[in-house]
Amino acid sequence: MTTPPPAAGNLPLPRWAYVPGESEKSSADYETLAQITVLVPPRFGGYVPARHPALRYGLMLNDRGYFWEAQEILEAVWAAAPQGGRERILLRACILIATANLRLRMQKPHVAARLLGEALGELDALGMRNASGDGFADCFPVAALAALIKAKLERTQLAKADWVAFAVAIRT
């Protein structure tokens, strides 16, 4: 009998949030991230389960301000997601959002706005595909996330405080 992977809430947080070029630490907390990436299988069969601990951890990292780390974990999940699947599209959007959030922290609002626009394009593409299962893309509130991003992009200039949290979309 195999034991299920630990829940995202039981996994350790990185010791610091890495910001390229600005962090006091010379590099990211790769040791902590390695504990999570080992939970990602080489390939997901059919779809990425919405409750997979590495996926939930990556989303939680973003919402707690660990944007670079969220991007790293979500990229590992994306790499294992089925080719051509809906989850890959949604994961790409989530990676773009985490990257945009990092750029906001780095005070690069124009780059962040471009990345959020790309994420919105991915979410629009996802909406054109049929939902068909129990995967991450089938139960995530894509429309709420798209609306949140649109509201941010309507501002004349984005600021550090305009970062996008996935939990906000889930609660609406």
Given a cut of 50, whether residue 133 has pLDDT beyond it is yes
CA 114 to chain CA mean position, Å: 17
Q: How far is 94 from 54, CA to CA, in rounded Å?
A: 14
pLDDT tier at 5, thresholds 50, 70, 90: very low
Q: What was the pLDDT predicted at 135?
A: 87
Could you tell me if 166 and 62 are in contact, meaning their C-beta atoms sit under 8 angstroms apart? yes
Q: Where are the domains of the chain?
A: 33-38+46-171
Given a cut of 60, whether residue 31 has pLDDT beyond it is yes
Mean pLDDT lowest for which of 3-17, 81-95, 122-136?
3-17
Given a cut of 50, whether residue 145 has pLDDT beyond it is yes
Instruction: Evaluate whether the domain defined by 33-38+46-171 bears CATH number 3.40.50.2300.
Output: no
Q: What was the pLDDT predicted at 21?
A: 83
Tell me if the pTM is above 0.85.
Answer: yes
Q: What was the pLDDT predicted at 130?
A: 67
CB atoms within 10 A of CB 16: 14
Mean pLDDT for the chain? 90
Stretch 144-165: mean pLDDT, rounded?
A: 95
pLDDT tier at 22, thresholds 50, 70, 90: confident
Q: How far is 92 from 87, CA to CA, in rounded Å?
A: 8
Which 3 state secondary structure label does DSSP give 2?
coil
b/e 24-36 (16+ beta carbons within 10 angstroms → b): eeeebbeebbeeb
